[in-house]
A and B are shown apart, each in its own frame.
Chain A
């Protein structure tokens, strides 16, 4: 079974972001970048499927600038077999990413596509759902378990999803799209020999034009602002003082 994994280069999750003075966007110059944490989980799940003998080949794909090849090399070091880089310097919204990934799906014909449930920069939580729609596939979003065999019919995958009230399991006909939630697995670290080996693994570069996809969008980013600052209040000395403040000052009790 062939598995396609989509990864995204984003600002490292520990970085405190700055909004540009002209409010055009967040300032990304000289900021530490990394693979989106949900994408790391997607790569890890694909690698585990290969270790279990379910997956035979893992193809990692990203859409982004030249520098995003770093994240593809990371995916290769973690166990992906080869990588596809769709290179563009433009701002690419979820729908265009989904269209680009759909073009790759058409070419590669994977049995399973795994993505993170959301990128921690745009916080959209859309691309996997959109890719599933465009490819005519079922979708197992916010997955905390992905199961093959073991009571799951051939040609299907069972996905346990994190929903608001608890968990829901669905059976999806393959090929299908899965998006990862945080509890799906704990990603491993790449070892140095694997990082060295990853440099020799194949990495194809493509362009949106070559895939026949326009990255333009009906969405325009007008402004980015810093949210209203919340200032720290006071420290109280005792439980009684706390209750008194909540009752008489904040009036929430």
Chain B
């Protein structure tokens, strides 16, 4: 058994989620003692490969440096993975937008099923994953020769960084006339990445408008927290969509999640209910969020937030 992991990276930085995917791979090879390889595909990704080589349990880092992979487009990445996949029993990626974009394409090209967003490795061919917005957990078994899996990174502890895997260049370029990169508009933020933050504070429709989200800034700064939002807040145009926590946004499982002015719809809970401690601040005593919150505070967020910031 051997596992190939497609590493997520951006701007020369390896994404933190990759260490969690390595941990999932370690569970897959636990009994067989197979190898775990990491694939770093992109343009000018030497530093990413060096970061990846430090992850514990990684046998080797395979690096492919070419302009065709520069923007992580699905068409060339899937073709590249098809070329490499025959040496492996499993191909993994995190459930990032890149992993979700590329891996099903690979699976179809190899005529095998893809298994999305695994939460647990039962054995090398059996996995647990959430369905119905996390309201049920399915156990699925794959009889396919190649297992193609995306991994919910918050469900696995990160692998350590004391390793020193070999870095090997792979000479594999593919043609891509199907798609081309046009541009990218990324949100700039000094705060920790939402899906990896230890503390997350999220605002919902109750915030009233985008301007009021500034009330969360001071608290987030004091707690070293990332700021998230409910779909209602995103759809109302208060904040950009990449802040959305939920079934259709990001899945987070921080140590502390503070939901402010969020009612707690099924869609939102799917994205945060595995947080260790949940705090709800809402003026509606009956809001469903209080049914899962460890600590609830009923009141006006416009009074509570400034007071909270002062008291921290």
Contacts and interface: CB of A to CB of B under 8 A. Distances in A.
Interface residues of B, number: 88
B135 A227 contact: yes
A62 interface: no
Contacts of A223: 138-139
Nearest to B143: A218
Interface string B148-178: 0000000000000000000000000000011
A121 B131 contact: yes
Interface in A5-57: 11, 13-14, 16-17, 19, 26
B89 interface: no
B136 A164 contact: no
Nearest to B306: A239
Interface in A110-169: 117-118, 120-127, 129-134, 136-142, 144, 158, 161-169
A171 B75 CA distance: 12
A164 B250 contact: yes
Interface in A168-205: 168-173, 176, 181-183
B145 to A, nearest CB: 9
Interface string B257-288: 00000000011000001001111000000000
B294 A130 contact: no
A138 B107 CA distance: 15
Contact of B297 (A132, A176, A236): A236
Interface string B49-80: 00000000000000000000001011100100
A90 interface: no
Interface stretch (A66-74, A75-83, A242-250): A242-250
A234 B195 CA distance: 27
A181 B244 CA distance: 12
Interface in B169-200: 177-187, 195, 199
Interface in A222-253: 222-227, 230-236, 238-240, 242-243, 245-246, 250, 252-253
A145 to B, nearest CB: 11
Interface centre among B187, B294, B304, by most chain A C-beta atoms within 10 angstroms, is B294
A95 B113 contact: yes
Contacts, number: 249
Interface in B211-256: 223, 231, 234-235, 240-242, 247-248, 250, 255-256
Given A125-B104, A130-B107, A225-B136, A183 B241 contact: yes
B84 interface: no
A89 interface: no
Contact of A19 (B74, B136, B186, B255): B136
B116 A166 contact: no
A239 B312 CA distance: 10
A188 B48 CA distance: 46
Given A165-B186, A235-B298, 7 more contacts: A123-B131, A220-B141, A222-B140, A226-B135, A233-B294, A236-B295, A253-B312
Interface of A: 11, 13-14, 16-17, 19, 26, 93-95, 98, 117-118, 120-127, 129-134, 136-142, 144, 158, 161-173, 176, 181-183, 217-227, 230-236, 238-240, 242-243, 245-246, 250, 252-253
The 8 closest A-B pairs by CB, nearest first: A138-B178, A233-B294, A130-B108, A129-B104, A218-B144, A133-B108, A126-B104, A169-B182
